[in-house]
Chain A
Amino acid sequence: MNVKNYLCCSLIPILLAGCTPSPKVLEDLQLVQTIGYDYVNGEEFEGTAGSSNIPPGEQSLPVNEVFTATGKTSKRIRQKIQAEAARPIVIGRVGLVIFNQELAEHGIENQIDSLQRNPSIGRKLLLVVSKEKAKDIIDSNYSQSDSVSQYLIDVVEQNLEQTIPKINLHRFLVHYYSKDADPFLPLIEKQGKHLKVSGLGIFKDDKLVDTISFGDAYIFKILYEKFRRGQFEVELSGGEDVSLENLSSKPKIVVEKTNGKYTATFKVKVNGRAMEGVNLDLTDKKTIERIEKAVEKEITDRAEKMVKRFQELDADPLRIGEKARQRSDFNRKEWKAQYSEMEIKIEAEVNAVQSGIIE
């Protein structure tokens, strides 16, 4: 009798598993993969949902489907989009959200709030700022056989690995909520038949205040996180051009406080290999040293310029403030007052450890 009871009890969950409220069949859903937000006016904004639809039949290619609507809230837009979609819209698989630059300049608080509040949205979601209208980026054809959404996601994802700091919804939120740091997002633009990542957008609170170029984004990445890819191209004092490949780099921020005055130092260590330098003897110690010095100078100069600019904007995307907060004598008021004026040094240390496979 007891055994029977046990069996019954253990069977119940299994049987109930079949009783989900409304079974969702993948083919019957409109899976949205990219969302775009465009500026309309102070109150309303335009939302665009990009999804791909695979028509029945063997070897059929995905067809791009784009829905657009205007409203005051994301939910209202979703409702309007639903009105013109043939199947229920599901946003659990969204991989990329595009904010138009104009919208970002006016603030993206509403959109961010709606994204993070929704339980079906993951935290690996990619966020980007676009120069063109987000709608135009989603609603166009690229020279790829993939679906458009997948192509867009791939381009951004690949760049996060290689050229710009890794940033996703989670990282953005960490910066966004921090009292001592400001968020930043990748900047994308369309170029002919391609999408390309063209730099970083720097935010202050939820508003876009500045953009930095693609080259500077790479310097930003070196200052921001440790990584192991990318190229430096520098001109030596003799006028020769060389290229140094980044094998591994590691930044460290040191914040000091003396007599109530803060100073910060970025210590960046780069190990690289000189790979391209025609007419140069890459095995010669002196040449290597010259390359090291030149790259150090390149990093220092560009980084200093960039950090200056952040200070002028009073934005802190490199989270120097977070580092300062970790000191036990941290005083937020003092820090805020001093940040834009304080001394921030860059110390780069470059080691060219290899020089390719030929002598």
Chain B
Amino acid sequence: MFPLPKEDKKVSPYFVFYLIHAMQIGVGILGFERIIVQSAGYSSWIAILTSGASIIGLVWVSYRILNKGNNDIVAIHAEIMGKWIGGFFSFLFSLYFFSFALVVLRSYVEVLQVWVFPEVSEWIFVLIIIFLAYSYVTGGFRVVTGVSYLGILYGLPLLLVKFYPLQYADYGNLLPILNASPAELFKASKEMTLNFLGFETIFMFYPFIKDGPKSEKWAYFGVLFSIFIYLLTAFVTFVYYNQEQLKGTIWATLTLWKIVDLIIVERFEYIGISVWFFTILPNICIGLWCASRGMNRLFPVSQRSALRIFSLLLFFISVILTNRQQIDLLQKAVSQIGLYTIYFYLPCLLVLQYIIMKVKKG
């Protein structure tokens, strides 16, 4: 009922590193510092470590489910819960991946509007980006993987720019090292987890990896690299800003680029925002790919038609959302759903799968 993809459509196991890392670093990194600082002050870097560790655990859980099911989430759902209930959950997963692409796209367009082109209406950017993402996704999973690989490659030089704010660093900001209560740290960890969301897409592209079980270590490396990037970003931001100042800065990393002083560039943020596009593009591409792939598996539609419908939906919903509050609401809603999905649904699924496999065998 759910055939595996052909060998020539698959990618090597180590690409999982790029896919997972690309998915985890998105628009969130431009402003996550503010949110965790509001919960736990400058001790919140610890929250990055703790929530990162929990994500490593969840990747482990995911691989247990996937290795046993040896197919994507749609097939696993069908196997465990039957055609209708399983199908319903798969449908929700598909929508979730779509909403992920939506959040990333809309948040990025908001940055473009606020920082670079306040007088241009959002539908122009939305249209251009969707068109680009669409043309990549139609190329299939291997092209999407390539986009993630290049996205990371293009984004890496931005790390070098962190050197400039360090000239204004006040390392004393980080002291005292532990002055947040466990409850505050837990809250910050929860907020931080939202930034690590995205690795769940592995549930959709797992069959597209040659020798899936072998890719597990690459998935861990991907998460570890994300943790490293988040830690580095948080460190530079914390020593650069005063705590109260950071609490009022929506895009801390973007504002940080304002101090960058290059000979030919007066305002580095404009370059940074443009380069950043290559980091968010894989997010949209993978999100759209996963969503349309899910529909293709569930209903008798081709992935291309599903993709077209999703692209249209993406366009209309993005245009309807016009102000900061709505975007904030969308971000919060999607991240809450993601949070419950990974922390409650995945472990439950693992247990359920274990029991049902036992029963079937017995």
Find chain A residues with CB under 8 A from B119 CB.
21-22
Q: Say yes or no: is A59 at the interface (Cβ < 8 Å to chain B).
A: no
Verify A174–B242 contact, CB threshold 8 A: yes
Find chain A residues with CB under 8 A from B136 CB.
9
Chain B residues touching A, range: 20 to 34
Q: Say yes or no: is A79 at the interface (Cβ < 8 Å to chain B).
A: no
**Cα distance A179–B119 when bound, in Å?**
37
Verify A124–B115 contact, CB threshold 8 A: no
Chain A residues touching B, range: 20 to 34
Verify A174–B117 contact, CB threshold 8 A: no
Nearest CB of A to B248, in Å: 7
Nearest CB of A to B190, in Å: 25
Find chain B residues with CB under 8 A from A16 CB.
128
Verify B168–A170 contact, CB threshold 8 A: yes
Q: A5-B139, A21-B119 are in contact. Are A120 and B267 (CB under 8 A)?
A: yes
Q: Say yes or no: is B161 at the interface (Cβ < 8 Å to chain A).
A: no
Verify B267–A122 contact, CB threshold 8 A: yes
Q: Closest A-chain residue to B248, C-beta based?
A: A177
Verify B135–A92 contact, CB threshold 8 A: no
Verify A322–B172 contact, CB threshold 8 A: yes
Choice from B116, B120, B175, B269 contacting A326 with Cβ under 8 Å? B175
Q: Say yes or no: is A23 at the interface (Cβ < 8 Å to chain B).
A: no
Q: Closest A-chain residue to B172, C-beta based?
A: A326
Find chain B residues with CB under 8 A from A124 CB.
259, 261
Q: Say yes or no: is B163 at the interface (Cβ < 8 Å to chain A).
A: no
**Cα distance A178–B246 when bound, in Å?**
10
Verify B117–A326 contact, CB threshold 8 A: no
Verify B267–A323 contact, CB threshold 8 A: no
Find chain B residues with CB under 8 A from A328 CB.
176, 178-179
Residues of A within 8 A of B (CB): 2, 5, 8-9, 12-13, 16, 20-22, 92-93, 119-124, 170-171, 173-179, 322-323, 326-328, 330
Residues of B within 8 A of A (CB): 114-117, 119-120, 128, 131-132, 135-136, 139, 168, 170, 172, 175-176, 178-179, 241-245, 248, 255, 258-259, 261, 266-267, 269
**15 A–B contacts, CB within 8 A, in A order:** A8-B135, A12-B128, A13-B132, A20-B117, A120-B267, A122-B259, A123-B259, A170-B168, A173-B242, A174-B170, A177-B248, A178-B244, A178-B245, A323-B172, A328-B178
